[in-house]
């Protein structure tokens, strides 16, 4: 991809998505305070994205303490923020071209743990250029988080971003790995270090509020059919929230679609030891001599 045109419409839309997202991330983070509703912050950020000319690429993830990903409030969620470690993971797309970012808002008093992934991300981005191995980036992330006295979450990775696709190759590990690939000019990737004071692995919990389309097929149930029409028209293959569906009983409609293998859910991911997890993420475009961070203001 050495002759890639980084001024093409595709990359301009990635940049536009990133610019919107950087603003939404900062404004949403400022709204996170003890006593504020998770649902209020999530819905505010999603609506703010639309006001600025983008669309949510996935539901706002609000992960608390040991949660690492895939937590978003339900339509009737009354949960409020406490003195906790809070990760906001937000995505924006413009005509299907994506940007993805995350930030830790620490209300728990664990400043060093909140700082560790941010420092690791800065160090990782300093390495990025065409030809660098993704394993080298992972090793640098692991080294910085280790220097802070914490562990990276080893079974979560950064990832490429495509059109209407949130996760494509290459994966960007958060630790040293023996098998990796070289980055190329024109790659659009999300680099997202996670740090924890636990062992460094996450597993699926029980709750699911986020889903994505697997395949289209005929569906007999009226509500399930209506939900599928909305999914294919509005969200395509991008993740969506149960609370986004305009049907009377969205949970039941999704259960029907899941049983028919039309959609799949994303269970909340939690650190195995119940330990705190922090996160920082930027989307970048690999350039001829380094990288351009699209989600930085």
CATH of the structural domain 208-267, one choice from 3.40.47.10, 1.10.10.10, 1.10.287.70, 3.10.290.10: 1.10.10.10
- Has 77 been annotated as catalytic? no
Is 83 part of any known ligand binding site? no
- Has 122 been annotated as catalytic? no
pLDDT tens, residue by residue, 59-102: 999 999 999 999 999 999 999 999 999 999 999 999 999 999 99
Q: Provide the CATH number for the domain formed by 9-204+270-293 in this structure.
A: 3.90.230.10
In the chain the first and final C-alpha atoms are separated, in Å, by 27
Is 70 part of any known ligand binding site? yes
What's the rounded mean pLDDT across residues 182-199? 98
CA angle 250, 82, 118 (to 5 degrees): 90
Residue of 159, 197, 208, 223 marked active site? 159
What is this structure's pTM? 0.95
Domain boundaries, the chain: 9-204+270-293, 208-267
**Longest Cα–Cα distance in the chain:** 56
Averaged pLDDT score across all residues of the chain: 97
pLDDT tens, residue by residue, 217-262: 999 999 999 999 999 999 999 999 999 999 999 999 999 999 999 9
């Amino acid at each position: 991809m050495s002759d890639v045109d980084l001024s093409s419409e595709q990359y301009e839309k990635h940049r536009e998505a990133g610019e919107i997202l950087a603003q939404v991330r900062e404004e949403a983070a400022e709204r996170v305070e003890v006593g504020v509703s998770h649902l209020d912050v999530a819905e505010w950020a999603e609506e703010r994205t639309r006001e600025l000319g983008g669309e949510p690429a996935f539901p706002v993830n609000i992960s608390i303490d040991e949660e690492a990903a895939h937590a978003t409030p339900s339509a009737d969620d009354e949960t409020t923020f406490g003195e906790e470690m809070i990760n906001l993971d937000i995505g924006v797309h413009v005509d299907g071209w994506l940007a993805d970012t995350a930030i830790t808002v620490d209300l728990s008093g664990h400043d060093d743990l909140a700082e560790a992934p941010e420092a690791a991300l800065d160090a990782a981005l300093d390495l990025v250029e065409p030809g660098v191995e993704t394993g080298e980036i992972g090793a640098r992330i692991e080294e910085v988080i280790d220097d802070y006295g914490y562990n990276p979450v080893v079974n979560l990775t950064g990832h490429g971003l495509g059109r209407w696709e949130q996760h494509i190759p290459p994966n960007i590990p958060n630790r040293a790995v023996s098998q990796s690939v070289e980055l190329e000019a024109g790659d659009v990737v999300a680099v997202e270090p996670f740090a924890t004071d636990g062992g460094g692995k996450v597993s699926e919990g029980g709750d699911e509020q986020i889903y994505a389309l697997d395949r289209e097929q005929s569906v007999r149930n009226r509500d399930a059919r209506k939900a599928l029409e909305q999914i294919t028209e509005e969200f395509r293959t991008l993740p969506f929230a149960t609370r986004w569906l305009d049907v009377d009983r969205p949970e039941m409609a999704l259960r029907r679609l899941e049983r028919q293998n039309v959609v799949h859910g994303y269970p909340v991911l939690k650190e195995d030891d119940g330990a705190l997890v922090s996160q920082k993420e930027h989307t970048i475009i690999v350039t001829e001599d380094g990288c351009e961070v699209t989600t930085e203001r």
